[in-house]
Amino acid sequence: MSFRIALQNVRKSYRDYLIYFVTLTFSVALFYVFGSVDYQLQLLDVSSFADMTSSGLQAMMLIFSVLIVIIFYFLIRYANNFLIRRRNKEFATYLILGMPQKTMGMILVMETLIIGVLSLVSGIIVGIIMSQVTSVFTAFILSSDINYKFIYSAFSMRYTVFCFALIFLFISYGNIRKIRKLNLINIMNSGRENQTVTRINVFFGFVTLVIAIALLVLAYVWVLQPYQLLLGFPLIVLLGTLATLLLFYSIAYIFMNVMTWFKRSYYWELNMFTFRQLGSRVKTTYTMMTFISVIMLFALVLIVTGINLNRSIFASVDVNTPYDYSIILEDDTVLKDFVNQNKASIATNMTYTYYKTGLTNEDLTVSEGINILGEVYVMKLSDYNRVRAHFSQPSLTLDANHALFDVTSQDTIMFVYTPLETVSGSLTLDSQFYRFSSPKASPVLLMNSGPIDYFFIINDDELERMLFDGYLHEPRYVTNLVVKEGQDIEHKISEHIKSNDYIQFLSKHDVVGTMDETRVIITYITLYLGMVFLVSAMVVQSLHSLSDAHDSKRRYTILYNIGVDQSEVNRSIRTQTLIYFLLPMGLALIHTYVGIQAVKLNVERISFASFSLVPTLITLGIVVIFYSVFYYFVYLNIKRIVRQHR
């Protein structure tokens, strides 16, 4: 009996359940897609590191899925509460007819079960279809070939069913608790209760607006300082959120007063009703609008950052791997015989030596903004000039007691040269005071990118003196090899050096594989979190708009009773919904612009190339279009709700 009633309720209220069903279906599909990334990566010809990338990314996705499950729980709970509120009259009828609250709870649980099963099935089907598309998208962003075949992840399906079954279990428990607390009198009066709205002085509203703008400017200035996004992130977010809250709060309480200044516009057609409705909504939802604006900020910045970082890493692959192999050894004789035996396969053989100093960041006086985090080494100027000659760069000369500063990573070279133009400072080597600066000519890469190390290049005679004094120790012998086209000697090299003492072996293939892994992880995680935040913001805003329309239906009935035309009512609904959507979205776009500039500033200083404007604009354009479609969907549903009570 209870199941039959539950099934009839779902059939009868399918329009009301539609937004709930769509939310659940999309959440399930998104969860499945990002849970099946290991299968998607198996289709790609990324590198020999694909397996490591797949397993590493899958592990990270499982970690992040815990956060996503929590977000989806609150999102689904919010949608569920919206449906519960709309059914007060139905629950009152059940109570009047004498239905026990236990039976009502069972009916509600069965309804949740029916919708849950339907959304799980449809969500997994949509997710399987979407995973075919995202595998192609992954191949596109990684610039990789794809060996396409139909993919299906049984593990992802089981994990998705388990997580959402857990969510539905908690939702059902919450519904039972709500039913137990139902009171007939409160239910009957719920539609007549007015929300208490605190009245404040208009002057106070303007003062609050000024304070909000000042705090927002302070947050913007703070986050646009170098490294402050990393060092002060929690406080900056807190300050920006507070400023956003005060901004919406002040707008809520000065909106109506400002509108009444324009008498002609205020009293035109239904504008008075429209503005009063809108003012009332903003007054009661400024906290919700703050939440939506901040969540959309995170969503947009994450998506734009992920796409740009992927592009930047891809652009730096060739720059960071100028050699086919970079081998660092403790004995300079290890590779001599090997190179002689494989001369026919080797196009370039470049060797040099550097020495460990034992210096740390505290031993250096360095330009502001430079922080030495790795090992500090010295090398001869003649060796450095031979490296420069390989890149067709002119030789350099040094005055006595002067040094040049260089690093092993081209990304760090960008960090050193681009923001500051030159690096300068001083250090003491073997009791001698040295001034150092960056080369005025183009920098070069000493080896394939690996751990970041820092080099000071000094004159040959000065380094020989330090060796004679016993100041330098632990020599490192570097061999950079470029093989002829069509030749592959990696296996021979690795087998040869394994039988000897070696410090590091950096093949171009391995470095590219590591970069591919980084690109995949960054892209998937930023897109995953960004899409979850974006969908959450849109669903919350749409549900709140529909809930408000449901609460305001009596007011629209009065308009119909006094003879207001349907087209005028539609125009009023359209204006209210548009402004209600534009307020948080507009502020979120402003926040996003500043946020992207802050990320760009810090990323450029730390490692990668600058952000591109084109993918940023394309991403924001797609989001705005998607948001506009969502707005139109909500507008149509509000019109339907209003017409039902005409």
Amino acid 413: pLDDT: 43
Per-residue pLDDT tens for 278-325? 777 777 778 888 888 999 999 999 888 888 888 777 777 777 788 888
Q: How far is Cα 631 from Cα 625, in angstroms, rounded to an integer?
A: 10
Q: Is residue 182 part of a domain?
A: yes
416 and 313 belong to one structural domain: no
Q: How far is Cα 593 from Cα 591, in angstroms, rounded to an integer?
A: 6
Is the confidence at residue 22, as pLDDT, over 60? yes
DSSP 224-286: TSTTHHHHSHHHHHHHHHHHHHHHHHHHHHHHHHHHHH-HHHHTSTTHHHHHHHHHHHHHHHH
60 and 136 belong to one structural domain: yes
Q: Is residue 157 part of a domain?
A: yes
488 and 517 belong to one structural domain: no
Segment 93-119 mean pLDDT: 81
Q: What is the mean pLDDT of the chain?
A: 79
437 and 349 belong to one structural domain: yes
Is the confidence at residue 639, as pLDDT, over 70? yes
150 and 10 belong to one structural domain: yes
Q: Is residue 462 part of a domain?
A: yes
Per-residue pLDDT tens for 325-381? 888 888 777 777 788 878 778 888 888 898 988 776 666 665 554 556 667 889 999
Q: How far is Cα 213 from Cα 309, in angstroms, rounded to an integer?
A: 31
pLDDT confidence bin for 58, thresholds 50/70/90? low
Q: Is residue 206 part of a domain?
A: no
Provide the 3-class DSSP secondary structure of residue 405.
strand
Per-residue pLDDT tens for 110-126? 887 888 888 899 989 99
Residue where a domain stops, chosen among 193, 224, 245: 193
Task: List the structure tokens of 563.
Answer: 């003879």
Segment 498-523 mean pLDDT: 77
48 and 176 belong to one structural domain: yes
Q: Is residue 36 part of a domain?
A: yes
Q: How far is Cα 181 from Cα 570, in angstroms, rounded to an integer?
A: 38
Is the confidence at residue 238, as pLDDT, over 60? yes
pLDDT confidence bin for 55, thresholds 50/70/90? low
Q: Is residue 221 part of a domain?
A: yes
Residue where a domain stops, chosen among 500, 531, 563: 500
355 and 493 belong to one structural domain: yes
Could you tell me which residues come within 8 angstroms of residue 139 by beta carbon, excluding any fewer than 6 positions away? 43, 44, 145, 146
Residue where a domain stops, chosen among 479, 500, 521: 500
480 and 520 belong to one structural domain: no
Is the confidence at residue 199, as pLDDT, over 60? no
Per-residue pLDDT tens for 551-606? 777 888 888 888 888 888 888 888 888 888 888 899 999 999 999 888 888 777 66
Q: Is residue 352 part of a domain?
A: yes
Is the confidence at residue 242, as pLDDT, over 90? yes
- 506 close to 326: Cβ distance less than 8 angstroms: yes
475 and 528 belong to one structural domain: no
Q: How far is Cα 394 from Cα 403, in angstroms, rounded to an integer?
A: 17
Amino acid 130: pLDDT: 85
In angstroms, how far is the first alpha carbon of the chain from the final one? 34
Q: Is residue 200 part of a domain?
A: no
Per-residue pLDDT tens for 205-216? 788 889 999 999
Alpha carbons within 13 A on the beta-carbon side of 380: 17
Segment 137-157 mean pLDDT: 75
At 108, which helix (H) or strand (E)? Answer: helix 101-141
Segment 442-453 mean pLDDT: 71
* Sign of the CA dihedral with 615 first, then 621, 627, and 630 last: negative
- 427 close to 405: Cβ distance less than 8 angstroms: no
Amino acid 380: pLDDT: 92
Per-residue pLDDT tens for 382-401? 999 988 888 888 888 888 88
Is the confidence at residue 220, as pLDDT, over 90? yes
96 and 161 belong to one structural domain: yes
Amino acid 181: pLDDT: 74
Provide the 3-class DSSP secondary structure of residue 152.
coil
312 and 347 belong to one structural domain: no
Domain that holds residue 189: 1-193
4 and 131 belong to one structural domain: yes
Domain count of the fold of the chain: 3
* pTM (predicted TM-score): 0.76
- 131 close to 151: Cβ distance less than 8 angstroms: yes
